[in-house]
Amino acid sequence: MDMWKQSTAARPAGIVGGRVTAAVGTQTAANGSTLNEPWLRYSVNNLVIQPTTLCNLDCTYCYLPFRDKNRRLPKVLAEKIANDLIELDTPVTVIWHGGEPLATGLEYFKTLVEPFEELRSSRRVEHVIQTNATLITGGWCDLLKHYDFGVGISLDGPKHFNKNRLNLSGSESFDGVMAGVQLLKTHCIDFSVIAVVNALNIDAADELFSFFGELGCSSLGINIEEREGTNQKNYQGRERVEKFWNRLFELWVAQPTFKIREFSRAISWMEAATKGEASFPKELRYDIFPTISVDGSVVMLAPELNGPYSTVRYPSFTVGNISDQSLKEIIARAQDVHYVKDYLKGVSNCRDSCEYFNFCLGGSASNKFFECGDLTHTTTTYCENGQKAVVDAVLKCLEKI
Ligand code: SF4
C-alpha cells in the first residue's frame, strides 16, 4: 500500500506523509516555477527512487506491478541522479521506495546510496525509506544509522489484522515484521508506521490505538484501503470509516502519546484557521514529486503512476528518462505535461466545488486516475474516507469538548 498520504514537512513523517504535497503560503517557492494557473506553483521537495521492483511480500492490497520481478537500479543511474541533484537549488528528501527497498540487498544498496554522500553531508539531501521491516538485520540497522535514514514501516496492527500481509509462500509476515521492529528499537532507530485500515481492522480503533501506543513508533499514518494500481478494491463502508475516525480521535485526544498524521494535520489546519491563515490560499505550491524507476524513467505527481498504465486520455505517465536527460530538464517541462495540466485543472475544480478544499488542497493524482480515469475529476472514495471523514470526525469531537 502506498505511503503518500497527506503532507507534513518533517521527517520521518515525510515518508508517512508525502502525497503530492501542497504547501500553503503566499511566498514564492525557492525553486518554484509558475504554472498556467497563476495561484499554482510547483517545486521539488521530494524525490522517489525505486532501487528495486522486487518485494519479498505479496500483500493482497498492494498496488505495485512487477513486485515479483528482481530489477535493480543500476549504480550508474544512482550516480547520475546524484549528479543531477547538484543542479537543483533546494534540498531534497530522497525517498527509497521499491518494491521492498531492502530486497535490493545490503551491499548493493550501499553502492546506490554512496553517490549521495557529498550532498547529504552538505544537507542538500536526506534519506528516508519505507520498508515492510521483515528483512531488517543488524547490518541494515548500521546502514540506516550511518546514512541517517528516516524509517517508516508498514504494519496493520496486532497479528490478526495482518492477514493481508503475506510472504510469497502465503504465510503471514507479522512475526518477521516484529523481529525487524525489535532490531530497530535495539539500535535506537526511530520509526514511523503506516497502517492500512480495511475490512479486517476498521472496527478496531481501540485495539489499534493501544497496539501502536505500545509499539514505540514516533508517528502513525492511516491509509483507508484504496483502489490503486493493481489493487482494485476500495474500502466502501463510509459509516464504519466515520465511526473509526471518530473513535480514534476520541482516544487520541484523551491520550496523545504519539503522533497520528491525519490528526496532526487537521489540528494544524484548524490552528491556522483560527488565526485567519487558512482561508483561501493566495498561492499553492505543489511538490511535483518525481519518481525515478529502476530503468531511469520518470513519472510525476505520484509514485503509484509508475507502472504500465495506458488509457486513451493518458497513453503514458512517463515524462522522460534520466539516462539521456537531466532531472532539471525533465522537471522544467512539468508545466507542459498533459496529465500534470489535467491534475492542476482538477485542483482548480476542487477549489471551486469542495468545502473541504482548504484542508485537502485538491486530492491525489493517483486516486483520481485509478478511481475516475481523469485527473481533472474532484471527489474520490479516497478523499471521502481519508480527507472529509477525518475533518468531520475532528470537528464532531471538538464540538463536544
Ligand atoms: S473534492 Fe475531494 S479531492 Fe477535491 S478538495 Fe474536496 S476532498 Fe479534496
CA atoms of 303 and 308, how far apart (whole Å): 12
Report whether residue 356 contacts ligand 1, using a CB cutoff of 6 Å.
Answer: yes
CA atoms of 1 and 196, how far apart (whole Å): 7
Measured CA distances, 196 to 36, 65, 173, 182, 400 (Å): 36, 19, 15, 21, 28
CA atoms of 249 and 252, how far apart (whole Å): 5
Contact 297, 330 (CB under 8 A): no
Supply the pLDDT for residue 73.
97
Supply the pLDDT for residue 68.
76
Report whether residue 365 contacts ligand 1, using a CB cutoff of 6 Å.
Answer: no
Reported pTM: 0.87
Supply the pLDDT for residue 279.
56
What are the pLDDT digits (tens) for 328-377? 999 998 888 999 999 989 998 999 999 999 889 899 999 999 999 999 99
Average pLDDT over residues 109-121: 98
What CATH number does domain 13-400 carry, 3.20.20.70, 3.90.79.10, 3.30.70.100, 3.30.1490.20?
Answer: 3.20.20.70
Report whether residue 350 contacts ligand 1, using a CB cutoff of 6 Å.
Answer: yes
Among 19, 383, 385, say which to mutate for ligand 1: greatest number of ligand atoms within 8 Å of CB: 383
Measured CA distances, 31 to 23, 223, 303, 330, 343 (Å): 13, 30, 21, 14, 20
Supply the pLDDT for residue 22.
41
Band (pLDDT 50/70/90 cuts) for residue 90 is: confident
For 335, which DSSP code? Answer: G
Among 379, 382, 388, say which to mutate for ligand 1: greatest number of ligand atoms within 8 Å of CB: 379
What are the pLDDT digits (tens) for 134-147? 999 999 999 999 99
What are the pLDDT digits (tens) for 154-185? 999 999 999 888 888 888 899 999 999 999 99
Which atom number of ligand 1 is nearest to the Cα of residue 363? 3
Q: Which residue has the higher pLDDT, 392 or 13?
A: 392
Domain ranges of the chain: 13-400
What are the pLDDT digits (tens) for 15-60? 333 333 443 333 333 345 555 666 677 788 999 999 999 998 878 7
Q: How far is CA 68 from the centre of its chain?
A: 22
CA atoms of 53 and 63, how far apart (whole Å): 12
Strands 291-292, 297-299: pairing kind: antiparallel
